[in-house]
Amino acid sequence: MAEVEIKVRASGPYLVRGPFVLHDADGNEFDLKGQDAVALCRCGGSTTKPFCDGTHSKIGFLAATKAVEETE
């Protein structure tokens, strides 16, 4: 069975690849038309939420993208 991979793009979207199902807040499934990858917005500015439309680059979105260990 293939695995799902989620990759954080530097100040960009989350790239999700693999066999997955995406649901909205009401539990309705998005029709992904057989896509095996999508880019999900994390800047909040996309007009096609939850999908990325490139707005992050237009608004200068900057995000922490490194995995950081929790300190005690």
In a structure prediction context, what are the per-residue pLDDT tens digits for the chain, which is 72 residues long? 679 999 999 999 999 999 999 999 999 999 998 898 999 999 999 999 999 999 999 999 998 767 777 776
Per-domain residue ranges for the chain? 1-63
What is the model's pLDDT at position 69? Answer: 72
CB contact at 8 A, 9 and 63? no
What is the model's pLDDT at position 72? Answer: 66
> Candidates 3.90.1150.10, 1.20.1560.10, 2.40.50.220, 3.40.5.90; correct CATH number of 1-63?
3.40.5.90
Q: How far apart are CA 66 and CA 54, in angstroms?
A: 21
CB contact at 8 A, 69 and 41? no
What is the model's pLDDT at position 32? Answer: 94
